[in-house]
């Protein structure tokens, strides 16, 4: 299967999706919500599913995460900076302690996530990910997972991830923008990150340990964030007939 063709199909579906203005977006199924700054629009569920299905075709043995929503400043939604992809990575956090989660991050401290993401994928996605640079994952006092990552491009892109730990996995806000001249303002990112929240019954309460948290789950969450950043570059290459 030609991955470039399948990814292009996803981009077409997203570009045709009608944008819906929203002040607060809520996912009642997975129990989270986020406030959107003025001018941001929501991709249709059909467009997000198409993107998720098609990007999955680039993985050799399954991707282990799901893209569940997308937001952009473009009214004809397509992966052009700035954009946000929301992601769910399942894992059993129900009895995990903060130490369990921190150990999972420490296991990745010497790991080249970009290379691992490249090795797990094929085609143009693999080619673009091999030079991705991922910063250290941090678990802040609010139990949010904070990660930054860069892709040289061109154009060079900057990504930031804010992950919330729920009992059954991590729900992430993956933010993408141009690295040298960002289009979105810092205030827009800060507002979205601050408003990103779980429903009360979904909030993870650290347990006594042994919750089954593995470094593989955390790795999958970060790889998913890296994969999302290549969508704009694939669109750019396809527009040139590459």
Mean residue pLDDT across the chain? 80
- Here the CATH number for the domain that contains residue 33 is 3.40.1000.10
What's the pLDDT at 13?
A: 40
- pLDDT > 90? residue 124: no
What's the pLDDT at 86?
A: 96
Q: Which domain holds residue 69?
A: 3-239
Least confident of 79-93, 153-167, 209-223: 209-223
What's the pLDDT at 212?
A: 59
- pLDDT > 50? residue 17: no
Q: How many domains does the chain have?
A: 1
- pLDDT > 50? residue 105: yes
* Helix residue ranges per DSSP H, the chain: 3-16, 45-56, 98-106, 113-120, 123-129, 186-195, 215-239
What's the pLDDT at 76?
A: 62
What's the pLDDT at 152?
A: 83
Q: Which residues contact 120 (CB under 8 A, 6 or more apart)?
A: 59, 60, 61, 63, 223
- In whole angstroms, what is the distance from residue 217 CA to residue 230 CA? 21
| pLDDT tens digits, one per residue of 162-217 | 999 998 889 999 999 999 999 999 999 999 999 999 999 999 998 887 655 556 67
What's the pLDDT at 109?
A: 65
pTM of the predicted model, to two decimals?
Answer: 0.84
Give the confidence band of 12 by pLDDT, cuts at 50, 70, 90: very low
Buried b (16+ CB within 10 A) or exposed e, 173-198: bbbbbbeeeeebeeebbeebbeebbb
């Amino acid at each position: 299967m030609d991955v470039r063709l399948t990814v292009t199909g996803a981009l077409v579906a997203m570009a045709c999706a009608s944008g819906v203005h929203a002040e607060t977006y809520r996912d009642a199924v997975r129990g989270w919500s986020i406030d959107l700054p003025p001018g941001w629009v929501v991709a249709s569920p059909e467009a997000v599913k198409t993107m998720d299905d098609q990007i999955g075709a680039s993985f050799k043995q399954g991707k282990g995460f799901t893209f569940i929503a997308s937001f952009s400043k473009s009214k004809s939604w397509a992966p052009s900076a700035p954009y946000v992809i929301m992601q769910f990575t399942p894992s059993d956090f129900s009895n995990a302690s903060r130490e369990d989660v921190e150990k999972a991050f420490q296991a990745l401290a010497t790991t080249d996530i970009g290379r691992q993401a490249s090795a797990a994928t094929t085609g143009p996605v693999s080619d673009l990910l091999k030079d991705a640079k991922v910063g250290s994952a941090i678990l802040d006092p609010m139990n949010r997972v904070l990660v930054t990552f860069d892709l040289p491009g061109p154009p060079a892109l900057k990504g930031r991830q804010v992950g919330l730990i729920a009992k059954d996995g991590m729900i992430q806000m993956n933010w993408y923008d141009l690295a040298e001249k960002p289009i979105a303002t810092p205030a827009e990112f800060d507002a979205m990150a601050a408003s990103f929240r779980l429903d009360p019954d979904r909030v993870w309460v650290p347990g006594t340990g042994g919750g089954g948290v593995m470094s593989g789950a955390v790795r999958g969450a970060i790889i998913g964030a890296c994969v999302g950043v290549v969508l704009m570059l694939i669109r750019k290459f396809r527009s040139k007939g590459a």
